[in-house]
Structure 1
Amino acid sequence: MSYIWDFRESGIQKSEVRSQKSEVGSRESGVGSRASGTLESHHTTIAPISPSLSLNSLSPHLPIFPSLPLLPVPCSLLPLLHMLTNRIIAHRGASNCAKENTIEAYEKAIEIGADFIEFDVRITKDGVLISHHDPMIANQAISQLSFGEINRIAGQQGFRVPTVEEVLKLTRNKIKLAVELKEEGYEEKVLALVMGYIKIDNFIILSFNISSLRCIKNKYPEVKTGLLLSKKKNKFLIILLRSLGILVFQKLIRLTPDILALQWETLKFGLLKIAAKQGKPVFVWTVNDKKMIGELLNDNRVDGIISDQPDLARKLLTNLEYTLRH
Structure 2
Amino acid sequence: MTLIFAHRGSSKSEPENTMPAFKQALKDGADGIELDVQLTKDGQVVVIHDEKVDRTTNGKGYVKDYSLYDLQKLHVHNQTLHKVAIPTLIEVFEWLNGNDLIVNIELKNGVIPYESLEEKVIQLIRLYRCEQRVILSSFNHYSIVHCFRLAPDIETAPIYKSGIYMPWVYAQSIGAKGLHPHHLAAPDAMIQESLKNGIAVRPWTVNKERSIKRLLKAGCSSIITDYPKKAVELRNKINRNS
TM-score interval, smaller chain: 0.7 to 0.9
Secondary structure (helix, strand or coil) at the match of 1:110 reads helix
Deviation of 1:215 (Å): 1.2
- Give 1 or 2 for the bigger CA radius of gyration: 1
Residue of structure 2 equivalent to 1:146? 67
Amino acid at match of 2:207: N
How big is each residue's C-alpha offset from its partner over 1:220-279, in whole Å with a ceiling of 9 and x where there is no partner?
A: 111111111113xxxxxx4xx32x6643x357xx51211000101213596435524533
2:149 to 218, 231, 237: 218
The gaps in structure 2 that reach 5 residues or longer are: 55-59
Residue of structure 2 equivalent to 1:278? 197
Secondary structure (helix, strand or coil) at the match of 2:203 reads strand
Q: Which deviates more from structure 2 when the two are superposed, residues 126-135 or residues 277-286?
A: 277-286
Structure-1 separation of matches of 2:45 and 2:146:
18
Alignment of 1:187 with 2:79, yes or no, is no
Contact 1:126–1:147 (Cα < 8 Å) also in 2:
yes
1:127 to 39, 43, 47: 43
Aligned pair count?
227
Residue of structure 2 equivalent to 1:98? 14
Deviation of 1:152 (Å): 2.7
Alignment of 1:116 with 2:32, yes or no, is yes
Structure-1 separation of matches of 2:142 and 2:84:
32
Contact 2:171–2:178 (Cα < 8 Å) also in 1:
no
Alignment of 1:164 with 2:85, yes or no, is no
Q: Which deviates more from structure 2 when the two are superposed, residues 203-212 or residues 153-162?
A: 153-162
Residue of structure 1 equivalent to 2:231? 313
Residue of structure 1 equivalent to 2:104? 178
Deviation of 1:312 (Å): 0.2
Structure 1 vs Structure 2: percent identity of aligned residues?
Answer: 27
How big is each residue's C-alpha offset from its partner over 1:34-56, in whole Å with a ceiling of 9 and x where there is no partner?
A: xxxxxxxxxxxxxxxxxxxxxxx
Pairwise mapping of residues 191-270 of structure 1 onto structure 2 (< 5 A)? 191-231=122-162, 238=163, 241-242=164-165, 246-247=168-169, 249-250=170-171, 255-267=174-186
Distance 1:261-1:250 versus aligned 2 partners, 3 A rule: closer
Distance 1:250-1:205 versus aligned 2 partners, 3 A rule: closer
- Normalised TM-score (structure 1): 0.65
Distance 1:198-1:95 versus aligned 2 partners, 3 A rule: farther
Secondary structure (helix, strand or coil) at the match of 1:126 reads coil
The two structures, once aligned, show a CA RMSD in angstroms of 2.1
How big is each residue's C-alpha offset from its partner over 1:56-111, in whole Å with a ceiling of 9 and x where there is no partner?
A: xxxxxxx3xxxxxxxxxxxxxxxxxxxxxx10000001111100000000111111
Pairwise mapping of residues 9-24 of structure 1 onto structure 2 (< 5 A)? none
Contact 1:172–1:198 (Cα < 8 Å) also in 2:
no
Structure-2 separation of matches of 1:245 and 1:164:
30
Secondary structure (helix, strand or coil) at the match of 1:166 reads helix
Contact 1:173–1:198 (Cα < 8 Å) also in 2:
no
- Normalised TM-score (structure 2): 0.86
The gaps in structure 1 that reach 5 residues or longer are: 1-62, 64-85, 232-237
